[in-house]
Chains A and B, each alone.
Chain A
Amino acid sequence: MSLTILTFLPVAGALVMLVFMRKRPSAYKTTALVTSIFTLALAIYLATQFRADTADFQFVENVSWISSLGISYHLGVDGISLLLILLTTLLSVVAILGSWNSITDRGLAFFISLLVLETGMLGVFVSLDLFLFYMFWEIQLIPMYFIIGLWGGARRVYAAIKFFLFTFVGSVLMLVAILAVVWSYSKHGGPLTFDILALQKAGFSGTLAIWAFAAFFLAFAIKVPMFPVHTWLPDAHTEAPTAGSVILAGVLLKMGVYGMIRFCIGFFPEVAVKAMMPVLILSAIAVVYGAAMSLVQPDMKRLVAYSSVSHMGFVTAGLFTFNQQGIEGSVLQMINHGILTGALFMMVGFFYDRTHTRLIKDYGGMARPMPVAAAFFSLFVLGSLGLPGLNGFVGEFLILIGVFQYAKVFAVIASIGVVLGAAYLLWMYQRTMFQQANEKWLSLKDLSAREIITLVPLVGMAIWIGLYPHTFLNLLHAPAQNIISQVQPYLAEHGNSLLGLASSFFGGF
């Protein structure tokens, strides 16, 4: 029952707000916050009860739902989903706290949307049934669509529709793939089931596997987003309200990578191994391209948005190396990116609340009126560019080790991304916080207590993961081993062909 409670607690809170607190902003805001804190507390409690020494799914619930099709209400978590659940619940609290005063119009609907969104995201991470997974996957589109479309910036309608349509096209193709996979399994002697664990054992191969992999991969690549299907992201992130950007960058993007782990690799390990090189190439392009785009953005939020493309490129690259360091680094980097980018969006939101501009050129010398904000901002910027001692470094380092083992050339390209990352982040920091102070902003108030409380957990996590990542990596050993054991049989034969080809091509570089 624990996972059911965890997943639906936010919606329950939303219902209470809808029924009892229509006209009382302070009451429904408090309820929203309390609900999200309880959800976080429950997630933390589950984490303490979690056994890290096994890749098996835990807290499993399995109830038949649509029995004629073998669809069941099947929940469970492993180390990867547990970490993502912790991230989701943490960022939900942060998002609610962060938009406490910035949302004045239709606040009830806004906080309800956030809570429904939280249920949708948690549902994606706990589902062990394809049908259930797909349901949650699609349902979270609706609250996000409204969050962008109702409370977003000037071009919000365009951004909201673009976000919806991009994701929707990917997901409907995935639906066909889901059906094809399930029918194929049942026609070839297996039971008719949508159970993810059962289908992972099926071992799909041949043409079906290639096409189904492609459909799944496209759906997830749009979500990640990988180059070249990333174009919805800068618009959606930039136009979304602060809380929307935090959740979007912090959690929704991770659903894409999570899907790749569960389905692209879990169902089709053979094809996934074949896809290593193309995915790494796309990831490398994303790393450099995202960073280069970030360099030239005049808008702070857009800059952070493009930096997400770059950072998520690291994540997909690490995942598709199929070695321990790469996979663990990839998952950990998702958490890091969620924390740091969430924090950066939060900071930009705090500045925007005061100045109502996001353009870098309108800022300058902000460290003078807002020293505390500047200090927090510097920490998140440094974490994001990979300063040792903060969390960004750990993830990037592990991924680079992983990629290096697979093909050195990609490690070099990825390092270029790291350097560019330092460039655009520090340059932005310099132009906004230092340099010529803008007279207009000298009278601005520094961060309020609420805003500081919002940021403190993120700082804590950044330092914790930076100094002692073992707590989190410990959860990832077993699942990473599990992924490797799935692809191992195909990796061996593949290693002789493509990797050999690649390394000989680059002259053993």
Chain B
Amino acid sequence: MQAPDLIPIIPELILLATACIILLVEPFLKTGVAAADGAGGAADSPAKGDKTPIIAIALAGLIGSLVVSLALVGHDRESFAGTLVLNDWAVFFKVLFALGAGLTILMSSGYLEAHRRHLGEYYALIIFAVIGMDLMAAARDFILFYVALELMAISSYLLAAFFRYRERSNESALKYFLTGSFASAIMLYGISLVYAETGATSYAAAGRVLAQVGGAGVPGGTAGVLLAVFLVGIGLAFKVSAAPFHMWTPDVYQGAPTPVAAFFSVGPKAAAISVIMAAFIVAFPGVVKQWGMFFIILAIITMLAGNLYALVQSNVKRMLAYSSIAHAGYLLTGVGAMGWSGNAYPGRGLLVYLAAYTFMNLGAFGVLAYLKTQMPEKFDYSLKHLAGLGRRSPWAAVLLSLFLLSLTGIPGTAGFIGKFYVFGGVVWADLWWLAVIGVVLSAVSAYYYLRVIVHMFFKEPEEDYAVREPIAGGMAAALAVSAIATLAIGIVPSWLWDAAVSAVGTLFR
């Protein structure tokens, strides 16, 4: 038997090595008492040991994987018996995930330090999650995709529970775990139905069977195929946090450490979208209209639910959780339009949107994490605690405004370019009514994003919430990168579009 081609998974191998090194190095860095938790009463014995080497290793690994991925642009090869590919599609997502994880790590150290729970495992877990997401995007087989998804999901559950002495964090992890397990089970059932009807687990093989007949000639007929498609779709909709499968999202985000919530809101979502696009286009070609419409309906419900619930939130972190649901809705309009039209065009916009969303949403959560780091006891993410931030910490206020305006979709920012391309694709597919629903609801979203800006700039604080120190270190780097990327994509989006075109091109041939 021939040895598998390992080139397609070099980025993941690098990450795997990085994560293992972190776990090995971590014990040697601990001097004195082992890490304890601030809320657990062991406040006198905070985590000792400088974590800078670990952060450096983690960043080096992510950058290594990013650089290698970029070096692999233009390749087109399969490995592991066709279950995994290396092409521009996979590279696009690998780069995106490495960037997202890198920014998350930069944001985390101060936050974890402030909560006295700065452990090396944290970084290893993030990297394991990235490996899972990378493989999800590269997978071309339901089994591999499922395994990769579980790798990502289990790492995520642990991350959500990282403040294990806090009730909120535990609640968050438990909800995430239970709903996630249900979703996985539903999805697995769908995958087993696909196997039952086509005798294949690879996307392409399933697609060949389902292509001509729309499922009519297979056991179970069209209805059976649709059942399988919808079950897989529902499982993925959980991961994207599409309504009505979104209930876990606000609680999980609110309870999880803020940088982790930031990571959840971009990484797994993008990974799930990548699977929906890759798997559904290739594996279910005969029923594109049906699953296209399925996602269009989901998109409408999701946009409505996300935006309307976000309107009534007084907690900014929770508002951002609902806003991430709304953004999942905008993304799904593109997915639906791609299926409905059976064309690559709407898909390209999705990739642009995912990149834009990664930076602006990480940035928004990052500013919140910074504020929490500065005021661990006082700040509870409520709107009124942001009052007067424009005077107290102008940089934080300006940056948060930039990210929120980008999430609103104001031109000149990445968020506008994302919406422009996604809704452009939707209109292109002659679904202009869907685009109208989307843009009207994104006008609604302006209200709750602006409300944060109103509090930061137009309101005076009730009591003094002075920040201790200016934005510095890793947080400054992360916010600067997010802000620059948000503006750069907003003003010169061509390169991103070209990357998206060549990535999506690999799905349609």
- The residues of A with any CB-CB pair to B shorter than 8 Å are 65-69, 134-139, 141-142, 145-146, 149-150, 156-157, 160-161, 164-165, 168-169, 172-173, 175-176, 179-180, 183, 211
Contacts of A160 in B (CB 8 A): 454, 458
Instruction: Please state if B405 and A168 are interface contacts (CB–CB under 8 Å).
Output: no
Contacts of B439 in A (CB 8 A): 172-173, 175-176
Instruction: Please state if B458 and A179 are interface contacts (CB–CB under 8 Å).
Output: no
Instruction: Please state if A135 and B423 are interface contacts (CB–CB under 8 Å).
Output: no
Instruction: Please state if B498 and A68 are interface contacts (CB–CB under 8 Å).
Output: yes
Please tell me if B243 contacts chain A, counting CB pairs below 8 Å.
no
Instruction: Please state if A161 and B457 are interface contacts (CB–CB under 8 Å).
Output: no
Contacts of A183 in B (CB 8 A): 424, 427-428
Contacts of B454 in A (CB 8 A): 149, 157, 160-161
Given contacts A135-B412, A176-B423, A176-B436, contact A165 B447 (CB under 8 A): yes
Q: How far is the CB of B394 from chain A (nearest CB, A)?
A: 9
Q: How far is the CB of B156 from chain A (nearest CB, A)?
A: 34
Contacts of A138 in B (CB 8 A): 410-412, 416
- The residues of B with any CB-CB pair to A shorter than 8 Å are 405, 409-412, 416, 420, 423-424, 427-428, 432, 435-436, 439-440, 442-443, 446-447, 450-451, 454, 457-458, 493-494, 497-498, 501
User: Which 7 A-B pairs have CB atoms at the shortest separation, nearest pair first?
Assistant: A172-B439, A135-B411, A179-B427, A169-B443, A138-B411, A176-B435, A168-B443
Given contacts A134-B411, A165-B443, A176-B427, contact A157 B497 (CB under 8 A): no
Closest to B454 in A: A157
Closest to A69 in B: B497
Q: List 29 A-B contacts (CB under 8 A).
A: A66-B494, A68-B494, A68-B498, A138-B410, A138-B411, A138-B412, A138-B416, A142-B410, A145-B450, A149-B454, A156-B458, A161-B447, A161-B454, A164-B446, A164-B450, A165-B443, A165-B447, A168-B443, A169-B440, A172-B442, A172-B443, A173-B436, A173-B440, A175-B423, A175-B439, A176-B423, A176-B427, A176-B435, A183-B428
| Residue from A141, A142, A173, A176 with most neighbouring chain B CB atoms (10 Å) | A176
Q: How far is the CB of A182 from chain B (nearest CB, A)?
A: 8
Give Cα A176 to B443, complex, Å.
Answer: 13
Contacts of A134 in B (CB 8 A): 411
Contacts of B493 in A (CB 8 A): 66
Q: How far is the CB of B133 from chain A (nearest CB, A)?
A: 28
Contacts of A142 in B (CB 8 A): 405, 410
Give Cα A179 to B426, complex, Å.
Answer: 10
Given contacts A176-B439, A180-B427, contact A149 B446 (CB under 8 A): no
Q: How far is the CB of B398 from chain A (nearest CB, A)?
A: 10
Instruction: Please state if B411 and A172 are interface contacts (CB–CB under 8 Å).
Output: no
Contacts of B435 in A (CB 8 A): 176, 179
Which one, B423, B446, B447, B494, contacts A179 given CB within 8 A? B423
Contacts of B451 in A (CB 8 A): 161
Which one, A67, A146, A156, A176, contacts B432 given CB within 8 A? A176
Instruction: Please state if B450 and A161 are interface contacts (CB–CB under 8 Å).
Output: yes
Instruction: Please state if A139 and B412 are interface contacts (CB–CB under 8 Å).
Output: yes
Give Cα A164 to B410, complex, Å.
Answer: 11
Closest to B348 in A: A68
Which one, A65, A150, A179, contacts B457 given CB within 8 A? A150
Known: A164-B446, A183-B427. 20 other contacts (CB 8 A): A65-B494, A68-B494, A135-B416, A137-B411, A138-B410, A138-B411, A139-B411, A149-B454, A149-B457, A150-B457, A160-B458, A161-B447, A168-B443, A168-B446, A172-B409, A175-B420, A176-B439, A179-B424, A179-B432, A180-B427
Contacts of A146 in B (CB 8 A): 457
Q: How far is the CB of B405 from chain A (nearest CB, A)?
A: 7
Closest to B408 in A: A168
Contacts of B446 in A (CB 8 A): 164-165, 168
Instruction: Please state if A141 and B442 are interface contacts (CB–CB under 8 Å).
Output: no
Give Cα A144 to B423, complex, Å.
Answer: 27
Q: How far is the CB of A109 from chain B (nearest CB, A)?
A: 9
Contacts of A136 in B (CB 8 A): 411
Instruction: Please state if B440 and A172 are interface contacts (CB–CB under 8 Å).
Output: yes
Closest to A172 in B: B439
Give Cα A268 to B416, complex, Å.
Answer: 26
Contacts of B424 in A (CB 8 A): 179, 183
Closest to B437 in A: A176
Contacts of A145 in B (CB 8 A): 450
Instruction: Please state if A141 and B410 are interface contacts (CB–CB under 8 Å).
Output: yes
Give Cα A139 to B423, complex, Å.
Answer: 19
Closest to B394 in A: A109
Instruction: Please state if A68 and B458 are interface contacts (CB–CB under 8 Å).
Output: no
Contacts of B447 in A (CB 8 A): 161, 165
Give Cα A150 to B424, complex, Å.
Answer: 35
Q: How far is the CB of A349 from chain B (nearest CB, A)?
A: 21
Closest to A138 in B: B411
Which one, A68, A141, A165, A179, contacts B497 given CB within 8 A? A68
Contacts of B498 in A (CB 8 A): 68
Give Cα A69 to B442, complex, Å.
Answer: 23
Closest to A145 in B: B450
Closest to B425 in A: A179
Q: How far is the CB of B344 from chain A (nearest CB, A)?
A: 13
Give Cα A137 to B457, complex, Å.
Answer: 23
Q: How far is the CB of B65 from chain A (nearest CB, A)?
A: 28
Contacts of B436 in A (CB 8 A): 173, 176
Closest to A181 in B: B427
Contacts of B416 in A (CB 8 A): 135, 138
Closest to B420 in A: A175
Closest to A187 in B: B428
Give Cα A347 to B450, complex, Å.
Answer: 32
| Residue from B412, B427, B451 with most neighbouring chain A CB atoms (10 Å) | B427
Give Cα A134 to B458, complex, Å.
Answer: 27
Contacts of A141 in B (CB 8 A): 410
Closest to B436 in A: A176
Contacts of A169 in B (CB 8 A): 440, 443
Q: How far is the CB of A116 from chain B (nearest CB, A)?
A: 11
Give Cα A160 to B494, complex, Å.
Answer: 34
Q: How far is the CB of B200 from chain A (nearest CB, A)?
A: 36
Contacts of A173 in B (CB 8 A): 436, 439-440
Contacts of A157 in B (CB 8 A): 454, 458
Q: How far is the CB of B251 from chain A (nearest CB, A)?
A: 29
Give Cα A168 to B440, complex, Å.
Answer: 9
Instruction: Please state if A139 and B410 are interface contacts (CB–CB under 8 Å).
Output: yes
Q: How far is the CB of B442 from chain A (nearest CB, A)?
A: 6
Closest to A135 in B: B411
Give Cα A179 to B420, complex, Å.
Answer: 8
Give Cα A214 to B189, complex, Å.
Answer: 48
Q: How far is the CB of B350 from chain A (nearest CB, A)?
A: 16
Q: How far is the CB of B419 from chain A (nearest CB, A)?
A: 8
Give Cα A164 to B447, complex, Å.
Answer: 9
Contacts of A68 in B (CB 8 A): 494, 497-498, 501
